[in-house]
Structure 1
Amino acid sequence: MAKPLNVLRLGDEAAQGRGVSVVKMRTFLLFLSVSLSAAGVAVCGPVGYIAFIAPHLARRIMGTSNAFVILPLSGLIGSCTLMGTDLSARMLFYPQELPVGLFTVMFGGLLLLFFLNKRRKST
């Protein structure tokens, strides 16, 4: 879906001119993202903040919004971040294991607030 996503970034008229059905594509992408997010939360619990933060981190690291670059890198960043938060949830208070959702919410929530605050200051 990286190609249609890149075309949609050009705007609705340009995407239609290039043969992309904008309404159908947005509806499909919305349905797909909601379904995948719901399945992930149902299986893993509240680790959704990682999914919110990984694309923003990938964009900052690579300095581009090209979906061909951002999508694989955000998957890699998300998986590494989740492994790190899981490891810290298991090891920080060693005899006791804390839920990984607690650490992902703390880490992801802080980063999300940081990005929102930075965006608000830039506008």
Structure 2
Amino acid sequence: MRLHGFGLARAELAYMPEATIPAARNALAQAGRGIADIDAVKTHNPFAVNDLVFARETGADLMRMNNYGCSLVWGHPQAPMGTRAIIELIEELALRGGGFGLFSGCAAGDTAMAVVLEVGDAHA
């Protein structure tokens, strides 16, 4: 597994779920990748509708988002859920034989973070 990009962002106070979009864009830019290069996406958002907005604004394919469920089934404490989602993203990419993944999640108040990572081909 290799980390390619990291992004942070803030949104207007009380608009925290919107912060995942610029955080993801920052991570993608740092990685030198576009959303079309991403094989799997995991998000941590307080409401499912936020993933619809995320997909619309970033161009992410909804069929490549949260394929094994989202972190809301486990509750909403940010740090443990972000960690779990990144681990699940790594596992999904490993099952696919490798590829690039994007995680983006909101945090308390008005912030978000995102990472772009790559899992190599397990069979190489």
TM-score (norm 2): 0.30
Structure with greater strand percent: 2
Structure with greater helix percent: 1
TM-score (norm 1): 0.30
